[in-house]
Amino acid sequence: MDRFDAMKLFVRIVELGNFSKAADDLKIPAATATYAIRQLEARLGVQLLHRTTRKVTASTDGQAYYQRCLRILADVEETEAGFGHRGVLPKGKLRVDLPTTARFFVLPRLHEFMARFPDIEVEIGMGDRHVDLIGEGVDCVLRIGELRDSSMVGRRVATLAQVTCASADYLDRHGMPQSIEALLRHQAVNWYAASSGRLLPFEFLVDGVLRTVQVPGRVSVSGGEAYVACCVGGLGLAQLPRYRVQRRLAEGTLREVLPDFPPPALPATVLYPRQRQLSPRVRVFADWLAEVMAVAA
């Protein structure tokens, strides 16, 4: 194993805290990984890793070497991407995690990205759960909404308009609210934060000032598909990204409520680990997402 591959192996061992997991991640035998790290430590003349039966952690020297390896590996990838005949396009595996709503605006156009960058292999996870980017070996995630995780570096790729809406059936039964205060006499499909269980209030921009109101409701959800389905099913009002319900609004299945007081727009952000430089693969993927989501916005 050459020095470059040994660096990549060392980085994954530190990140995963386990020789076997790192070996599986890089598709090499565990014995090869163990031998390569022994050779690396012998060449450097320092102990890089502390090994126990449960966990592998970096020594003080190992932490310093890990940070150097991250910079070197990113610099090599960046350099290779910028040279060669007509410029060498980024290559290798790109592991991304997307929200479930990405099936509406990202996946239908993914073939465009694959055609533009034929040497990138994309591995996609989908869901709205918290992702451990380092531990799971994920290069970046796309998240919709305000961010609360300061351990990640974010690049905003779009701002998505939202709409307050309800089904035509619900409004026929309960009437169209004419003011924010009137919402207190209606029912909502409420969204609760899975991490805390807290119900999130409805938000409105009134002359540029944010107003919030907790609309009563008998149904609350924490998943995007359930949120839309309950709204369409006539269970109450909801606040949703406009792209998500544009077709239903055009058909009249859903109707917009209080259009003069729109909810604030949702940011769409690509996140990647703070301790890693932005790789060429992640950079071109973020650039492409910005193109795609400009249409959704």
Q: Which two tokens stand for residue 94?
A: 């790109």
Q: How confident is the model at residue 146 (pLDDT cuts 50, 70, 90)?
A: confident
Cα–Cα distance for residue pair 24/192, rounded to 1 Å? 37
Nearest residue to 37 via CA among 62, 9, 4 = 9
Q: What is the mean pLDDT of the chain?
A: 87
Count the neighbouring beta carbons within 10 Å of the beta carbon of residue 154: 17
In this model, does residue 45 exceed pLDDT 50? Answer: yes
Cα–Cα distance for residue pair 31/37, rounded to 1 Å? 10
Cα–Cα distance for residue pair 217/190, rounded to 1 Å? 6
pLDDT tens-digit readout, 2-25: 888 999 899 889 888 889 988 988
Q: Helices in 145-200 by DSSP H: which ranges?
A: 168-174
Sheet with 254-256, side-by-side order of all strands: 238-241, 162-167, 254-256
Mean pLDDT value across residues 58-83: 80
Residues 6 or more apart whose Cβ sits within 8 Å of residue 102: 126, 142
Mean pLDDT value across residues 259-269: 93
Strand partners, 192: 199
Contact between 134 and 95 (Cβ < 8 Å): no
Identify which has the larger pLDDT, 169 or 67.
169
Mean pLDDT value across residues 82-111: 80
Residues 6 or more apart whose Cβ sits within 8 Å of residue 107: 98
Contact between 190 and 226 (Cβ < 8 Å): no
Contact between 160 and 241 (Cβ < 8 Å): yes
Mean pLDDT value across residues 51-72: 86
What are the DSSP calls for 207-220, one per residue? TTEEEEE----SEE
In this model, does residue 83 exceed pLDDT 60? Answer: no
Structural domains in the chain, CATH included, are 3-81 (1.10.10.10), 92-158+267-296 (3.40.190.10), 162-264 (3.40.190.10)
In this model, does residue 225 exceed pLDDT 90? Answer: no
Nearest residue to 106 via CA among 121, 120, 126 = 126
Q: Provide the pLDDT for residue 82.
A: 59
Mean pLDDT value across residues 96-125: 90
Q: Provide the pLDDT for residue 150.
A: 59
Q: Provide the pLDDT for residue 85.
A: 46
Q: Provide the pLDDT for residue 138.
A: 83
What H or E segment, with its residue span, contains residue 121?
Answer: strand 120-126
Contact between 48 and 40 (Cβ < 8 Å): yes
Q: How confident is the model at residue 277 (pLDDT cuts 50, 70, 90)?
A: low
How would you classify the pairing of strands 219-221 and 189-192? parallel
Q: Helices in the chain by DSSP H: which ranges?
A: 3-16, 19-26, 30-44, 60-81, 102-105, 110-116, 133-136, 168-174, 224-232, 242-251, 280-296
Mean pLDDT value across residues 229-242: 96
Q: Which two tokens stand for residue 133?
A: 């980017």
Mean pLDDT value across residues 170-179: 96
Identify which has the larger pLDDT, 76 or 257.
257
Contact between 139 and 96 (Cβ < 8 Å): yes
